[in-house]
Amino acid sequence: MATMASAAAASASARRWRWRWKWRTRDAVLALLIASVLAPPLLLYGGAPIAPFSGPILMGSAASGLDLSNLDAFAAVKEPIQTVASDAAALKAGLIQHIVDQSSGIDRGTKDNGMVASVNKKGGVEFTKENGLIDDGKLRENKVRAMRNSSGLNITLNKDHTADRPPEKTTDTTSEDSDIRAISNNTSHSTASPDSTIRVLRDQLKRARTYIGFLSSRGNHGFIKDLRRRMRDIQQALSGATNDKQLPKKYYLSHRYTKFFTVGISDDDLCLVSGVHGRIREMELTLTKVKQVHENCAAIISKLQATLHSTEEQMQAHKQEANYATQIAAKALPKRLNCLAMRLTNEYYSSSSSNKHFPYEEKLEDPKLQHYALFSDNVLGAAVVVNSTIIHAKTPENHVFHIVTDKLNYAAMRMWFLENSQGKAAIEVQNIEDFTWLNSSYSPVLKQLESQFMINYYFKTQQDKRDNNPKFQNPKYLSILNHLRFYLPEIFPKLYKVLFLDDDIVVQQDLSALWSIDLKGKVNGAIQTCGETFHRFDRYLNFSNPLIAKNFERRACGWAYGMNMFDLSEWRKRNITDVYHYWQEQNEHRLLWKLGTLPAGLVTFWNQTFPLDHKWHLLGLGYKPNVNQKDIEGAAVIHYNGNRKPWLEIAMAKYRKYWSKYVNFDNVFIRQCNIHP
């Protein structure tokens, strides 16, 4: 019997245990269901939910977000959740009135009068008491502060509520906090410069594009998505702005804030000031996190090096294309200049101008006067040289201009100067075809220009040419006009001194003083060009050739053609023309220098050049973009040496005015050919 009673008692105890366990399980399930139902409104009342993580949250007053400096609008927040909607109007008015450009981030554990509001590991907000109960007003204020911390907002309490409150304390519990502060400091920048913010935005875009290139090969799609979103924000902020004042003043709130402010507030009111600096810091945080994750520095360096190498190759290719295009443009005769030459030629032969003679022909061989030599096939260029010289001459009647051109432009050149009187100055226009003594049996350069080697070099297809640089294939080297400067004594047998001028110069002062300069027994008076490395002998001559290395100094100073005073008496004494012929014969196959007159001049007038003061001749207006304006205005002669001649479309606009003011744009032929400043 005792055994049966014991068994019955054990069975009853087991049933009671199973019943209790069953109801305990039901209680737990029921509690979870209740919690899941009540959690959303409780969270809405107890603190704004944390948005999905899109980068570290900034700490410090400079973080991106909102700054609510008054809490009166939030005082109506009551314990029951039903009162939230009824206070939406007050929330809206206080929010819009007190939002400012900057906001603070999260404080990890803010203590206030016994209530501690903190963000837990799951992103929620927890309230804990430290010193017992507190009144409802303090609890309400602490809850609002928790909402600020959890949503990234900076809500400053009203002075009436915060007068006796101790300052908030921030505890650095993780290394992430220190990193965030460092980023906040790094992204703060001075606004002294009008485009400082623009530069920061553009720099961040460049870095973001670089990181996207790195991350795409490693499968970091989350980071790429986040970076692209930040890039869109930055690009929207830039929106074509060129300085900080042009940046937009308003932005829509970030998605992490919209959930808190959706109750009773329209979309238009959500267009609040978020601040460009906030977007800058959000991007900086994202870039910093990507940098921490992407630790493969070797791969980054390797890819950067490959990118740099590829960019350099592309840059060199573009430079070669630009150089080739510039050379082609420099070779081509502009349509307007061709029109001018054709109209002048037609007028010359259709009228009686061919029978006219220039006045003051008796001055042409007078050695006591100031003689100029100008060899050109450019009518407009020659006109500017003569016009600018006479305008600044103190005694124009003492100036004599000897112009030599080719057969094609002879009629046009004569017609221009016959119709455009130069006052009392004497003008002579000659045809190079009339120099019967200048032939291939006398001049080595003429003989070479007629050789098969030169014909192949200039007229074969591009694939057969050994030199890729079009500079040395310029057809102007085929013209003997370019080499006529080496035959001055033969052209002017009765003169003692001649000032040689190029057709791409402009005279800005009286040049009479040049004839009184003592050249110290030298033949050539010119300015030296030692200031630039490419104007020394080794940049023009081939010093790997023993003949060049034996006779010249590698680092000797070069000098400039364009405005040169030649003493023809000393020229004849030293047989300079024979020296020129010797070096031309040695360079038959262009082994000593490429085609051109300056290298030939360097070897011909070696130790025969007197350096003139640099104020007489300023170079570089045909290729230098940064010639000093004061130097230009103070020079006696400015020279458009280089490819960008003032009469070409590729000329530098800021230098063209010094040339164009000496062009007579009222001339009927100028107007007919549509030549304008």
Q: What is the pLDDT of residues 217-236, one digit of tens each?
A: 555 667 778 888 888 888 88
Confidence of residue 79 (pLDDT cuts 50, 70, 90): very low
Of 13-22, 369-378, 557-566, where does mean pLDDT reach its minimum? 13-22
Confidence of residue 280 (pLDDT cuts 50, 70, 90): confident
* Placement of tokens 């432009």 in the chain: 409
Query: Would the pLDDT of 15 be above 80?
Result: no
User: Under a CB-based contact definition with an 8 Å cutoff, are residues 250 and 96 in contact?
Assistant: no
Query: Would the pLDDT of 201 be above 60?
Result: yes
Can you tell me the mean pLDDT for 332-347? 91
pLDDT at 259: 43
Is the sign of the CA dihedral 374, 380, 381, 386 positive or negative? positive
pLDDT at 214: 66
β-pair type (505-507, 399-405): unpaired
Q: What is the pLDDT of residues 255-270, one digit of tens each?
A: 444 444 444 444 444 4
Segments in 351-429 forming alpha helices (H): 379-392, 410-419
Can you tell me the mean pLDDT for 600-623? 94
Query: Would the pLDDT of 642 be above 90?
Result: no
Q: Please report, rounded to a whole number, the percentage of residues in the chain having pLDDT higher than 70.
A: 61
What whole-number distance in Å separates Cα of residue 427 and Cα of residue 359? 8
When mean pLDDT is compared over 59-68, 104-113, 158-167, 581-590, the highest value belongs to: 581-590
pLDDT at 237: 79
To the nearest whole number, what is the mean pLDDT of the chain? 74
What whole-number distance in Å separates Cα of residue 466 and Cα of residue 460? 11
Determine phi and psi for 637, rounding to 5 degrees. Answer: -135, 130
End-to-end alpha carbon distance in the chain = 133
Question: Which has the closest alpha carbon to 234: 283, 275, 191, 195?
Answer: 283
Cα 569–Cα 571–Cα 576 angle in degrees, nearest 5 = 160
Instruction: Please indicate whether residue 61 or residue 570 has the higher confidence score (pLDDT).
Output: 570
Query: Would the pLDDT of 595 be above 90?
Result: no
Scored b (16 or more CB within 10 A) or e, 8-42 reads eeeeeeeeeeeeeeeeeeeeeeeeeeeeeeeeeee
Residue 154: strand pairing partners: 67
Q: What is the pLDDT of residues 602-611, one digit of tens each?
A: 999 999 999 9
Residue 584 CB contacts under 8 Å (≥ 6 apart), including other chains: 444, 445, 448, 600
pLDDT at 636: 97
Residue 117: strand pairing partners: 110, 127
Instruction: Please indicate whether residue 185 or residue 513 has the higher confidence score (pLDDT).
Output: 513
User: Under a CB-based contact definition with an 8 Å cutoff, are residues 652 and 644 in contact?
Assistant: yes
Q: What is the pLDDT of residues 439-489, one digit of tens each?
A: 989 999 888 877 777 767 666 655 444 445 555 556 566 678 989 999 999
User: Under a CB-based contact definition with an 8 Å cutoff, are residues 626 and 547 in contact?
Assistant: no
Can you tell me the mean pLDDT for 161-182? 45
Length of the chain: 677
Phi-psi region of 239 (alpha: psi -120 to 50; beta: other; left: phi over 0): left
pLDDT at 18: 64
